[in-house]
Each structure stands twice: as structure tokens, then as C-alpha cells.
Amino acid sequence: MRILITNDDGIYSPGIASLAKVARKFGQVKLVAPDVEQSSMGHAVTHSRPLSYKKSPIEFPDVEAYRVNGTPADCVAMGTHLWNDVDVVLSGINMGPNLGNSMWHSGTLAAAKQAVLFGIKGIALSTPVGDTEPNFEALEPYVEQTLDLLLKDKELALYNVNFPAHPTDMMWTRQSVRLYDGTIIPGTDPLGRKHYWFTVSPLGPADEGTDRWAVENNLVSITPLRLDLTDEAVLAKKLMDQR
């Protein structure tokens, strides 16, 4: 199996190293990831300047690593250009959760989406980060179990996986859809100029069966996603009204 790995935290993130270590048990692995952090870049692609890549000095045994001056989606395009017949794109392990509404902004998930747009299975993997770095070594058995489960299936698919800090089991979930308070917090820089932070927190508790609920209950959340955003119920009603 040919496994292309990328992320949005950049090639030097400990999360991508941990994922590469586990993925090697499942096949050949190449890393093609952004040279600097690209978190919350969503599905942006670079079109107004050329892309370039450099072989990264990071030493993974039997793994080539390349850093790209672009977004996570660019890295999937570059990775599949450099390497034919990729079977799956893994994105992560992101330092920070990608639950519920944050899927809209996630660069981690965008890389997996880009893979599916190319006809390749895409899996995004994330974990929360607190005051200390995530304990990736402790997560490894759960990452392996998840890959074992999701790589067996040969169907083209898109999955969003979130690991709690201390998992006890896994759960199939749906996306938590809640409105959030997109609050702008003003501040001042050292020269006294005004600047602003855009902060995001969900309004209301998570419903049972959702990705947020699973992670709050120490369960690995696996959400199957699709690219078609069409609201089928509204479309059916509009087509009916038109008659």
C-alpha cells in the first residue's frame, strides 16, 4: 500500500512523525507537507505564485520527506505528482481537534478532501493539545487500530478522526452542527496599534452520537464524510414547488 502523509502543522510537527511511524506498518510511506504551519487555511490552493519543494532533512527510516511552500491541499497535489498510484492520503496528526464546525476551517481535513477530489481515499486525524504536547506515543495503539479499520475497506471514502487525550474505545459519529460565537477580541500590539483575535467556541452542549460528544467521553471519534453539501430535503421541496 502506498501511503502519502501530509498535515497543516508543517513537516516538523511531532504529530506527522508519530503518524508516519504507525503508517509504516501498513505499507510504503512518503511525507509531503507544508514547510510552515498552515492551520485554519481550509481548502485554500496556491494559484498566484509557483510552488516548489525541497527534500527534508528529517530522517524517518525508509521514508522520503518533502516540504512544500504551499497549503495542505497543494501538498496533496504535489505529493500525487511526485508519486503515482497513491492508495491513501493521511493528514495529521493535527495538534488540535477538528470537531463539528471547525471542519469548515480545517487545513488537516482539507488535505483529505483534496485526496478524495483526486479519487483517493482521505483520512484526517487530530488530537487536542493542552499546556503540554500531546502524548503521541500513548495514542499510537489507537492510531494503529483506526488505520487497521479504515485501510481494510477498499471503497473511496473520506473520514475525519479525532483522538481524545486518553482514549478508552472508538465510536462512529456524525458531525456536531452548532452555531458558534465568532467573537472578535481587540487588543494592542507593542507599538500601541489596535489588533484583533478571531476566537471560536461552540454554543451549546454536544449531542450524543456526535464527534464532540465522543471526544468529551474519551472515545476516538470516526466520522464518515461526503463532499456533496446539497441539502436533499430542501432541494426535493423546491423541485416539488416548481411543478
Give residue number: closest CB to Mn ion.
39
Nearer to Mn ion, 106 or 221 (CB): 106
For the CB of residue 18, give the shortest distance to Mn ion in the complex, in Å.
Answer: 14
* Residue 75 to residue 34: CA distance in whole angstroms: 7
For the CB of residue 198, give the shortest distance to Mn ion in the complex, in Å.
Answer: 16
- Hunting for cell 512523525 — which residue is that? 17
For the CB of residue 39, give the shortest distance to Mn ion in the complex, in Å.
Answer: 3
Nearest to 161 by CA among 238, 81, 106: 106
* Residue 156 to residue 153: CA distance in whole angstroms: 9
Nearer to Mn ion, 79 or 134 (CB): 134
Nearer to Mn ion, 6 or 146 (CB): 6
Nearer to Mn ion, 38 or 221 (CB): 38
Q: Which chain residues interact with Mn ion by CB under 5 A?
A: 8-9, 39, 94
Nearer to Mn ion, 8 or 35 (CB): 8
DSSP strand pairing (88-95 vs 121-127): parallel
Nearer to Mn ion, 106 or 173 (CB): 106
For 10, other C-beta atoms within 10 Å of its C-beta total 17
User: Phi and psi dihedrals of 172, rounded to 5?
Assistant: -75, 130
Calculated CA dihedral for residues 228, 234, 235, 238, nearest 10 degrees: -160
For the CB of residue 9, give the shortest distance to Mn ion in the complex, in Å.
Answer: 4
* Residue 89 to residue 147: CA distance in whole angstroms: 11
* Residue 63 to residue 77: CA distance in whole angstroms: 19
SS3 186: strand
Cell numbers at 183, concatenated: 467573537
